Amino acid sequence: MVKLSIVVPVYNAEKFLVKCVNSLLGQNVKDIEVILVNDGSKDNSLEICNEFAKKDSRVKVFSQENSGQGKARNVGMDAANGEFITFMDSDDWVDIDYYEKLIDAAVRNDADIACGSILRVRKEYKKFRINYKEEKVYTKPQEKVDAARVPDMCYVWNKVYRRSLFERLNLRFVEGMFFEDVDFVTRAVYFSNKIVTVPGTYYNYWTNGNSTVKTMRKSDKKRSDSLRSKAMVLDFFREHNLTSRPKNLIRRKTCMKFLGITILKSYEWDSKTVYYLFGVFPIFETLSYA
């Protein structure tokens, strides 16, 4: 058994894949396996995957017809041999000590999940999505959910998970839908024995306009799956008496621009919609009642 299995779904990622995989193979933690699951790519992604596998025995390549990230991640989990399992998107990268610090914190604190910070990277700037300032352990359900920023930031890839957690829960990604990680992360965090937050190292999340989610932004399928995933989390929160849903779960965001400048932005929750002038200054809100 290796220490860490890293599952990477790959779809038309030839522009980013080399940087992504190199950041994994260069990790301070050497006892890893990198599982690349080619999801029916139409570019040279599969060839790049196979070249990595030829050069480094830690790289394993699987290929399937285009079926989405949910199935690709399930395939990767089935193939994983690690004591810990994590996930990565094929256009992202991590600091050299990222997994070393997360695994070390999980082992020292006997935690099922270790959560790392996220740095969103665009061509123009960088901005933290999550920035943990201290190593802290959480054991109570509400505290774990809040610390992991569920449900507003249900990212599967800024965490390492004990393999035994997945086996205990028989946890799988929902296949055939976008936002498949929302339900997955919610359940993993809630049912974990404890989680630990880890400061001082970052998952670099590249905001790529050509990514799967971005290109499907206006599709009926994506909108439908977004509502479906949020409904699943709402049901889970109600069932388990979790209270952060009303303030965290944004159902829809709307942005009005003129000459490329944001004039008005709105955030819609279950019970209210808040409008922001220039996307920054709250000017009014509307309430809805059942």
* Alpha carbons 96 and 203: distance in angstroms, whole number: 10
* Alpha carbons 153 and 120: distance in angstroms, whole number: 13
The secondary element (H helix, E strand) that includes residue 120 is strand 113-121
pLDDT in tens, 108-127: 999 999 999 999 887 777 78
* Alpha carbons 37 and 32: distance in angstroms, whole number: 16
Parallel, antiparallel or unpaired: strands 4-10 and 32-39: parallel
85 pLDDT band (50/70/90 cuts)? Answer: very high
Parallel, antiparallel or unpaired: strands 93-94 and 126-130: unpaired
Query: Which CATH code, of 2.60.40.10, 3.90.550.10, 3.90.700.10, 3.30.420.40, is assigned to 4-215?
Result: 3.90.550.10
* Alpha carbons 119 and 129: distance in angstroms, whole number: 6
Domain limits of the chain?
A: 4-215, 250-290
* Alpha carbons 203 and 83: distance in angstroms, whole number: 21
Residue 5: predicted pLDDT:
98
252 pLDDT band (50/70/90 cuts)? Answer: low
Find the Cα–Cα–Cα–Cα dihedral 34, 38, 43, 49, rounded to 10°.
30
Mean pLDDT calculated for residue range 214-221: 56
256 pLDDT band (50/70/90 cuts)? Answer: confident
